[in-house]
Structure 1
Amino acid sequence: ILCQKSGHLVPPQVSDEDVNNGLLEPTVFIAILARNKAHTLPYFFTLIDELDYPKNRIAIWIKSDHNEDATPDILRAWEKEVGEWGKYHSVSVQITDSPPFKQDDQGESPVTWTPKRFRLIIRLKEEAIRLARKFWADYIWFLDADALIVNNQTLKHLVSKEKPLVAPMLLSGGMYSNFWGGMENYYYVRTEEYKEILEYKKIGCFPVPLINTAVLMDIRRRDIPTFERFNESIPEDDMILFAENSRRLNMTMEICNDLEYGYITAPIEDTSTLQRDYDQVAILRTEVASYWAKPLESLPYLKKFLPKDNRPSTIGFDKVYLINLQRRPDRLMKMHNVLQILGIEYELVDAVDGSELKPEDLDRMGIKQLPEYRDPYSDRPMKFGEIGCFLSHFKIWKMMVKNHVNTALILEDDIHFEPYFVYQIQRLFEEAAKLFLDWDLMYLGRKRSANANEPFVEGSKYIVHVDYSYWTLGYALTLRGAKKLLDAKPLERLVPVDEYFPIMFDRHNNASWMKSFETRDLKAFSAEPLLLYPTHYTSEPGYISDTEKSPISILNCTIKDEL
């Protein structure tokens, strides 16, 4: 590879800082192939720049060809900028200008994988290995331009493992990842272990038959795998060839999920357009915004290449309400970022903080627990956090009635949106309108009961009749539904809000509780499949419940509705 400044092949330079730190970090040659990745490259390069690894121990080699988008412009802008920085040991960007925009066997779609494309990829990766060894690099790291390495400790952590072939597990927002759990006759086979690794039920580094991106290979060894097609029965696929060459040398590929590392776009159909790939990046942006301290960002000089976000709207509802505790600005920041990416305009509703409620406050507000209520699992009265949660939703119902809000989407602040959320919710309510569905409440996220009987609404593909359910993560509510929930005077016989809903649509499994509410005619349904889930479950790291950790209340007071 040519050094950026001198134009000559030179060994990595040793700085005073390196000497003072003792042992030098191994040198890493990052090989990147980019085609039609203008929608990922600004994020990709930002994350590469943020890697906590000495940049003078990194050489970056990029090849790009047959682009139909702004990929060449982004690569040139980035190359110019990093050349002025002088941070990396060396940078080489080689672009085959377009047109031609496609290889001659590609057809109409720019994302089609053809034999000529595979052969080109194989040739370029072989070239990368040769150059990396000529460069005296210790490792080569094959990175696709849509592999978003969010954890800036990734490279340092992988190198420290000193494994011959290792990669970080990358998530996609679904069941796809950058490794195969099984392979039979060169075809992908999903295994139980694949799911266990993907869902972090097993944590560590695990041998797998194939890894398709982000493989870090130790090239200090005499024999290393290549992309040679040593058997005509092997498909002419770069990663299958690499996996088979690894097996031939008795070298094990390992995928690691001991940390959360980053994301990868899911593959799309060969006949798809680039827009479908743009949608995949939007999914990853919501994933990062939901689970990481900051959303995906772009280096300032690359922002101009990013597609514009959708103009914010209430996506067909009169209002979108977001409930957030003022002492949880972390959740608000994440939800704000996610809703901004999704193009959803919302009104913030300050939650009633149960941790600040005292018995005299409940007495003053005239709140009284349903005498028969005991928590079904722990046999206790309501907690202050559950009371605060109910009052937060109650506040919104009153706002809807006061302001004549016909339809509202109500969201809590610890939720995870399913991919294509906006499209799916619009499709859901378009179907409801076509069916003339008479509804008050539509669950979008909930916990189903184990023995639920929930048939689809006649003629529907996406809506079911709802049975007893838990959680109020997110739901749509009509003005009529809000009035019904208020008219039942729930503060006079309070239960948790996720118990109140099934009572009001007459599907609760506790008949004595239901008898306390004479009118139970709320017309409730649910999206199927669900569109919202919790960001964390009770057994997972990072799970915090502001309701469950609050103290138990004692409710024995009279009623004065002062909300």
Structure 2
Amino acid sequence: MKIFVLNLERAVERRQSMLQHLSGLGIEAEILPAVEGARLPPSSLPAGTDPRLSPGEVGCYLSHVRFWEIVVERGLEHAVVLEDDVRCSPTMLQVVADIVALGLPLDAVRLSALNPIRGQDITTLAGGTKLVLPNKNPSGTQGYMVTLEGARRLLQRLAVPRCPIDTALDAYWKHGLCIPLVSPSVVAEDASIASSIEGRFGGRQRKTLGRHLARVAEAQRRKIAVFLMARSLRSRLGRRERGNPAQ
């Protein structure tokens, strides 16, 4: 399993700390230079980039896009990306391997979550870790695995920064993507390291009755979409267990 770590070239201490942490777990990783959003001229941004995003949010988003591009360019069947301010469970690679072995049509699997995990259970892995399709926003992109086909679809549907990258992944169900997550998380943010992203998109939106009703309606649509997606995945697993894999 190929492991990448997103890291700004100037963040030498983070890079060294992260590589040392992974080495202690017996994990080799390739440093993937992150995009410095503050150094990007507006003319170089993808058409449609939301101007309300901070430079840090744009850089973070485009760094993840570059990861998807590399997965496709190299033809990697599966790959994991980690941000450089995380700590990984010793079970991370085994959990990922167990998920791959399920043979499900997944685009990505999030290995971290900043918010409580709520959603539809798909299955429980051998070690007790659950694979869950979230119907509440888990937030965060501290670590996740992508498949080759998933990277292609992500590039087709989410290549333009219209919101923060974790918000885009939270809305997977809107984009026809299948992106479950693991519970409990096997990648966690290191709280001792300050975030390099300043500001937060949409943080100053005025609360109105119209926005509230729209959120309620969207939450209901999401629950239905996630339920149907999870049911389909569980059905595939059931057919596989009975020796009749889905076509």
The answer for the alignment partner of 2:245 in structure 1 is none
Amino acid at match of 1:368: G
TM-score by length of 1: 0.33
- Residue 500 (structure 1) shift: 1.0
SS of equivalent residue, structure 2 residue 73: helix
Is the aligned partner of 1:329 residue 2:37?
A: no
Structure 2, unaligned stretches of length 5 or more?
203-247
The answer for the alignment partner of 2:146 in structure 1 is 477
The 1:486–1:428 alpha-carbon spacing in structure 2 relative to 1, beyond 3 Å, is: closer
- Residue 490 (structure 1) shift: 3.1
The answer for the alignment partner of 2:181 in structure 1 is 526
- Residue 502 (structure 1) shift: 1.9
The answer for the alignment partner of 2:221 in structure 1 is none
- Residue 430 (structure 1) shift: 2.0
CA distance in 1, matches of 2:42, 2:141: 22
SS of equivalent residue, structure 1 residue 477: strand
Largest Rg, 1 or 2: 1
Pick aligned residue for 1:488 from 157, 166, 177: 157
SS of equivalent residue, structure 1 residue 475: strand
The 1:457–1:551 alpha-carbon spacing in structure 2 relative to 1, beyond 3 Å, is: closer
CA distance in 1, matches of 2:86, 2:159: 26
**Residue 355 of structure 1 contacts residue 550 of structure 1 at CA under 8 Å; is this kept in 2?**
no
- Residue 476 (structure 1) shift: 0.5
Provide, for residues 319-358 of structure 1, a one-character-per-residue CA deviation record: whole Å limited to 9, x for no partner. 211100111101001011111111111111111112323x
Give matches, 1:1-40, under 5 Å.
none
SS of equivalent residue, structure 1 residue 327: coil
Give matches, 1:291-310, under 5 Å.
none
- Residue 406 (structure 1) shift: 1.0
The answer for the alignment partner of 1:500 in structure 2 is 168
The 1:341–1:543 alpha-carbon spacing in structure 2 relative to 1, beyond 3 Å, is: closer
The answer for the alignment partner of 1:363 in structure 2 is 43
Amino acid at match of 1:523: C
The answer for the alignment partner of 1:454 in structure 2 is 119
CA distance in 2, matches of 1:543, 1:333: 13
Provide, for residues 173-212 of structure 1, a one-character-per-residue CA deviation record: whole Å limited to 9, x for no partner. xxxxxxxxxxxxxxxxxxxxxxxxxxxxxxxxxxxxxxxx
The answer for the alignment partner of 1:384 in structure 2 is 55
Is the aligned partner of 1:426 residue 2:74?
A: no
Amino acid at match of 1:388: G
Pick aligned residue for 2:72 from 401, 423, 427: 401
**Residue 456 of structure 1 contacts residue 465 of structure 1 at CA under 8 Å; is this kept in 2?**
yes
The 1:321–1:458 alpha-carbon spacing in structure 2 relative to 1, beyond 3 Å, is: closer
**Residue 65 of structure 2 contacts residue 159 of structure 2 at CA under 8 Å; is this kept in 1?**
no
The 1:495–1:342 alpha-carbon spacing in structure 2 relative to 1, beyond 3 Å, is: same
Identity %: 27
Amino acid at match of 1:465: L
CA distance in 2, matches of 1:543, 1:403: 32
- Residue 550 (structure 1) shift: 9.6
Aligned Cα RMSD in Å?
2.5
The 1:327–1:426 alpha-carbon spacing in structure 2 relative to 1, beyond 3 Å, is: same
Amino acid at match of 2:179: A
CA distance in 1, matches of 2:77, 2:96: 17
- Residue 387 (structure 1) shift: 0.2
- Residue 403 (structure 1) shift: 1.3
CA distance in 2, matches of 1:484, 1:524: 12
- Residue 464 (structure 1) shift: 1.6
The answer for the alignment partner of 1:445 in structure 2 is 112
The 1:366–1:521 alpha-carbon spacing in structure 2 relative to 1, beyond 3 Å, is: closer
The answer for the alignment partner of 2:212 in structure 1 is none
SS of equivalent residue, structure 2 residue 81: strand
- Residue 394 (structure 1) shift: 0.6
The answer for the alignment partner of 1:213 in structure 2 is none
Structure 1, unaligned stretches of length 5 or more?
1-316, 372-380, 507-513, 515-519, 537-541, 553-563
- Residue 438 (structure 1) shift: 2.4
Pick aligned residue for 1:548 from 198, 217, 222: 198
Higher relative CO (Cα under 8 Å, sequence separation at least 6) belongs to 2
**Residue 132 of structure 2 contacts residue 183 of structure 2 at CA under 8 Å; is this kept in 1?**
yes
The 1:530–1:482 alpha-carbon spacing in structure 2 relative to 1, beyond 3 Å, is: same
**Residue 385 of structure 1 contacts residue 551 of structure 1 at CA under 8 Å; is this kept in 2?**
no
CA distance in 2, matches of 1:335, 1:464: 27
The answer for the alignment partner of 1:135 in structure 2 is none
The answer for the alignment partner of 1:256 in structure 2 is none
